[in-house]
Amino acid sequence: MKLKSRLIMANASTVIIPMVITVLIALAAFFIFGKLLGSGISFEHQQRKSMLKLELMNETENWKRTPEILVEESYQKYLLNKLADINSELLLLKDNKVEFSSRNFSKIEVAKILDAGKISGSREMVTIDDLSYSVVDIDLKYNEGSQGRVFLLTPVDSWDTSFTGLLIFVSLSFLISFILTNIIVSFQFSRSILTPLHTLQNAAAEIAKGNLDYSIVEEGDEEIQALCRDLELMRIKLKDSVHTQLKYEDNRKLLVSSISHDLKTPVTSIKGYVEGILDGIADNPQKMERYLKTISLKAYQMDQMIDDLLLYAKLDLNQIPFDFERLDIEEYLKSCVSEYEPELERNNIKILFDNEMPQKQHVLVDRARMKRVIMNILDNSCKYMSPGQGLITIFLRDTAGSVIVELRDNGSGIAEGDLPHIFDRFYRADASRSKGSGLGLAIAKQIIEGHNGRVWAVSHGKEGTSIMISLSKS
């Protein structure tokens, strides 16, 4: 349920429920009072009584216009019947003498009635025979000039008092039910909001402590559930961010460890050969030349490792722009391989081309950067092949929108579990594959992705490994 709908229902409930309860209580009270006090207090009886009183009060207008009607015997009988129906009394005076009365009033009772009706037109109370009456005093003027007064006495019965008490009781019932309903509805409404908010507060406290495994459960109204979902997504992203940060921290430590280890070997060699020269161990030109060539080679290796590290860092930060050219992929690969042939010949490794494309295909590449990719892959293949029997085959295939370049070697292969990680920086599958800085394939992946391409590896078990490159056609 939406929070807005719940709020509307809560506000409506605080009014509707007390009204329904009050109506039920009022009906029950009318029924109970009617049963306990008899038919005299029933609604039907009181309605009839009120109608008769109203009819009699309307007759008073006729009395004022034609007071002579009151002395007619037939009309007096009519009045007596009406008065009897509502337990009322009537006293008619003409020139201060009793002309007609519904009962025999004593002089004291007449005096009480006159005293109650001193103010013409007023309604006062008078008690006769332990019964209370409301007195209506009406002045009359006869045609012959005589003055008269008529006093209409209507009983004040228990219904009026009971009805007043009933109204007070019903009003109190509405007030109490309204207060109780507001308390209950407010409690339920606030609990539906505060409970999930309390859960979110606990989750926020746990996350603040660093417990990113504390999941946030969706509960409450739709808006609060949406908030829970967003916070849960935030927690997951934060957890992934922390995990990535920790991974980067591990990579940084691995970088320091790997670079320190890889640099230490050539530095140690350079230091040893320099000390040998200084100590006079290289005591002839041939040995001196060999020492210097070794120092130069180790210095080159160090320079290469530092270049790899700087290149990867720049690629990772997207600080190196690409200069794309539209090139024939086959001719370009052959030119790259031709530059690497001396290294292949030195390691007795053969290289073959297998072009399965039906026609020439062109791709957009950065000539220098893509050459680095091919060199890194070939160099990586050469490192892990047995001398004298190495073979690298380059397959060219095409699909509807891309060109596939496969560089397959016949080396020792890569375990299936290591394939997804060989393009990670500084990753080494095992101790036997610890040559180099561990950045060659990571640099290759960064460059290929900069070309909007893909690179992946396929293991052929002990028969070697294939590095697959996919580039879009141009």
Q: What residue segments make up the domains of the chain, in order of their start? A: 1-62+160-209, 88-156, 223-315, 321-472
Predicted confidence band of residue 39 (pLDDT cuts 50, 70, 90): very low
Pairwise CA distance, residues 186 & 172, whole Å:
21
pTM of the model: 0.46
Please tell us whether the domain made up of 223-315 is placed in CATH 1.10.287.130. yes
Q: What is the pLDDT of residue 468?
A: 93
Nearest CA to 304 out of 336, 337, 262 is that of 262
Whether the pLDDT of residue 73 is over 70: the answer is: yes
Residue 71 vs residue 222, higher pLDDT: 71
68-77, 119-128, 197-206, 290-299: least confident range: 119-128
Count of alpha carbons within 13 Å of 6, Cβ hemisphere only? 17
Residue 88 near residue 52, CB atoms below 8 Å? no
Tell which CATH classification among 3.30.565.10, 3.30.930.10, 3.40.50.720, 3.30.1330.40 matches the domain 321-472. Answer: 3.30.565.10
Residue type, 278: L
| pLDDT at residue 112 tops 50 | yes
Distance CA 124, CA 152 (A): 11
Rounded-to-5 percentages of helix, strand, coil across the chain? 60, 20, 20
DSSP state of 217: P
Q: Cα dist. 64→61, 72, 114, 141 in Å?
A: 5, 15, 19, 7
**pLDDT tens-place string over residues 2-19:** 667 777 777 888 888 888
Question: Which of 308, 367, 315 is closest to 336 using CA atoms?
Answer: 367
Looking at residue 408, its pLDDT comes to: 93
Give the separation between CA 406 and CA 465, rounded to whole angstroms: 10
pLDDT average, residue stretch 303-312: 77
Check: CB of residue 394 under 8 Å from CB of residue 407.
yes
Dist. CA 265–CA 271, nearest whole Å: 10
Q: What is the pLDDT of residue 325?
A: 92
Query: What is the rounded distance in angstroms from the CA atom of residue 415 to the CA atom of residue 387?
Result: 21
Neighbour-count burial of 424, counting CB atoms closer than 10 A to its CB (0-12 exposed, 13-18 middle, 19+ buried): middle
- Give the pLDDT score at 432: 43
For residue 151 the two structure tokens come to 């006093």
pLDDT of 453 over the 90 cut: yes
- Maximum distance among all Cα pairs of the chain, rounded to whole angstroms: 173
318-326: which pairs have CB atoms within 8 A and are 24 or more residues apart? 320/369, 322/366, 322/369, 322/450, 322/451, 323/366, 323/367, 323/368, 324/364, 324/365, 324/366, 324/451, 325/364, 325/365, 325/366, 325/367, 326/362, 326/363, 326/364, 326/474
Average pLDDT over residues 373-380: 87
Rounded Cα–Cα distance for residues 46 and 23 (Å): 20
Asked if pLDDT for residue 434 goes beyond 60, the answer is no
Residue 464 pLDDT > 60: yes
